[in-house]
Amino acid sequence: MALRTLTQAWITLVVLSVVTTGLTLVSEHGTSRKLLIAVILAIAAVKARIILTRYLNLSQSPFWTRVFDIIGTVFFALLYGIYLVGGAA
Amino acid sequence: MTDNAQNSDTEDDNWGVLGELPGDFMMWVLIASELLVFGAALLAFVAVRATDVTGFAADQQQLNQTAGAANTIVLVTSGFFAALAVSASAKFQKTRARVMLAAAMTLGLVFIGVKGIEYWQKAEAGIGLDSSPFFTFYYLITGFHAAHVIAGIVIFALVSYFDDKRNIETAAAFWHMVDLVWVILFPIIYLVR
């Protein structure tokens, strides 16, 4: 993987981590909290995809990128669905 | 084309889509297995949370979110150095690869240090594995992950010595898996409430 691509991936991961931390400072309840958690989980999914495709170089295989995209989407959807069943604190 | 070359082509063809996976195939088996284990544990965590939302939120308030967030940046940066080590190794830049592995290992040790401080703070506050369902999950999941970080540091130390390209690539793949698990684990355990 080219240095430029890896550096871009790293910067994106750091920026997304900072954004996630910033979002946790927002104190919301009810529907807004549920939306906030959806955003935080979506950011985590994006970060996981960057690690898979850039650091682990999975982007060289469109087939496996798609497989991990599907599994990741199902996992995070399931996770968020269970979260909604419990509700926001 | 020689017989040997034909045999080699046939063997490559037999892998099908599995041959598209970058690096060592067995490492991908390990990565998939680990993701399934951590994924199941995190789903169980959220399911048990649904039975006691208030209790989980109260326990979560006792976690050090700043330390967890800092550790996220430490680990993704460490993964960056691991990826750079693979890149250097592919160009036969052995010294550079070793320096990058050393940087990745150092940040791995920083991660363990921060995690240790977190555990120590919890112990000081009298919080242990059996304090509540939340902390049982917290210690088991983060402890299992920390064990993988320590294993990754040891593997990096080994491949710094046995530094052929394939070894470094396989070790880095293990490290990225550890990194990947953390970026999913951190928001679920530390932030979701």
Mean per-residue pLDDT, B172-191: 96
pLDDT of residue A86: 82
pLDDT at B45 over 90: yes
Q: What is the mean pLDDT of residues A13-19?
A: 95
Output the pLDDT for position B1.
Answer: 39
| Residue A85, min C-alpha distance to chain B (Å) | 7
**B51–chain A Cβ distance below 8 A for any pair:** yes
Contact B55, B144 (CB under 8 A): no
What is the ipTM score, two decimals?
0.92
Residue B4 has pLDDT above 80, yes or no: no
Rounded Cα distance, A60 and A62, in Å: 6
pLDDT at A22 over 80: yes
What DSSP character marks residue A58? G
Q: Which helix (H) or strand (E) holds B139?
A: helix B133-161
Look at residue B19 in the predicted model and tell me its pLDDT: 86
Residue B105 DSSP class = H
Residue B96, both tokens: 């550079």
Of A24, A41, A55, the CB nearest to B79: A55
List, for residues B98-145, the tens digit of each pLDDT value: 999 999 999 999 999 999 999 999 999 999 999 999 999 999 999 999
Chain A residues in contact with B77 by the CB 8 A cut-off are 10, 14
**Residue B169 pLDDT class (50, 70, 90 cuts):** very high
Please state, in angstroms and rounded to a whole number, the distance separating the CA atoms of residues B62 and B71.
17
- Average of per-residue pLDDT across B17-42: 92
Domain ranges, ordered by start, for chain B: 23-191
- The predicted model gives A50-60 an average pLDDT of 94
For the beta carbon of residue A31, count every other beta carbon within 10 angstroms: 9
Q: Chain B interface, mutation test: which of A41, A51, A61, most B Cβ atoms within 10 Å?
A: A51
Of the options 1.20.120.80, 2.40.50.180, 2.40.370.10, 3.30.9.10, the CATH number for the domain spanning B23-191: 1.20.120.80
